[in-house]
Amino acid sequence: MSLDIINKNWKLGVLLVPGYNFAEMSHIIEPLKVANHRLGHTLYEWQLFSLNGGPTMSSCGMQVETLALTAAWSLSQLDALVICATNTIYQLPVQGFTAPLKHLARSGALMGGVGTGAYYLYLSGLLDDCRWTIDHRHLDELRQQGATPNRAIFNVNNNRFTCQGGSTSLDMMLHIIHLHHGKSVAIAVAEEMNCATLRTPKEHRLDNKINPYGWPNALQQVACLMENNIDEPLSLSEISQYAGLGKRQIQRLFKVYIGISPSTYYLEKRLNHAHKLLFESKYTVENIAIRCGFSSLPSFYKCYKKRFGLPPLKARHQKALMWSA
């Protein structure tokens, strides 16, 4: 998403699903209020919505008054809508949301999701062709279903903004303020909210699933950076900058703990993801190549065949024959 410096009021709708996380809602609104104070005038406005309007209960038992989503649907001046939902996709009511969300997206509103709120955008087909994430507890499950959420703490691109929930909703809003008004304003807002640092979409949540081999934290961080940036591979210089490590230090870590170079490891990660998409999704080979960071289709074919022994189309065809036999 390209967010230019704004000189008009940015009107945000916050869509609350019953059982939403009250802290996440606050993390969306409070940075905007602080930014208005720092800027000396109102550039951010917000309104709370629910599907049908009225009092909406949070997971902690607190409730707030909301307008019906259909009211947001008719507000052409709404610049963005972000969805705050429950902690699990299995408790999400889904009926009635898709049509108004699609309508708002078509009207040009930016669409966002906090934690499982991103699931509504996914079900509505509003996360195609963009990088997105969701509550970390559902990442692997959705990937097995052919979805493509990444492990970034938040993503802001192609008129969509999503985060993993919890404190990452604050990180995401600080990043949006940064894009709107520059780093100095975002830092001032972060300081007033006792937030230690501005985090970037390249950062990630660390957990044991990502580090099954007991790697040192530095190597784990680099591996997660690669995992989070499959579609747009980072250069070693960029990885070095984001991780705060020297290029030689990164190369040494890979040699000692994995036995291969960082570039080889990164390529294998991308090819393994392509292999998974080839068999578990309906994407075309061209689309898979793009999603896995290959700008050249011949290059993708060559690398895939070298890694798996067959060209991608032939591999997919053989798999289909095996299942139909």
Beta-bridge partners for 13: 47, 81
The pLDDT of residue 308? 83
The pLDDT of residue 322? 47
Q: Which residues lie closer than 8 Å to 7 by C-beta, 6 or more apart?
A: 43
* pTM attached to this predicted model: 0.65
Q: Residue 127 phi/psi, 5° resolution? A: -115, 10
Distances in Å between the alpha carbon of 4 and those of 25, 75, 179?
A: 24, 22, 7
Each of the 325 residues of the chain gets a pLDDT tens digit; together they read 455 545 568 999 999 999 999 999 999 999 999 999 988 889 999 999 999 999 999 988 899 999 998 776 555 678 999 999 987 787 677 788 998 899 889 988 999 999 999 999 999 999 988 899 998 888 878 887 888 888 888 999 999 999 999 889 999 999 999 999 888 899 899 989 988 678 877 666 544 444 445 678 888 889 888 988 999 999 999 999 988 899 999 999 998 888 889 999 999 999 989 988 888 888 899 999 999 999 899 999 999 998 888 899 888 877 655 444 4
The pLDDT of residue 107? 87
Check for a shared fold between 10-192 and 206-325.
Answer: no
Regarding the domain with residue range 10-192, which homologous superfamily does it belong to in the CATH classification?
Answer: Class I glutamine amidotransferase (GATase) domain (3.40.50.880)
Q: Does domain 206-325 have CATH number 3.90.1280.10?
A: no
Q: Tokens for 139?
A: 């990442």
User: Which amino acid makes up residue 105?
Assistant: A
Domain ranges of the chain: 10-192, 206-325
Q: Are 218 and 254 in contact (CB under 8 A)?
A: no
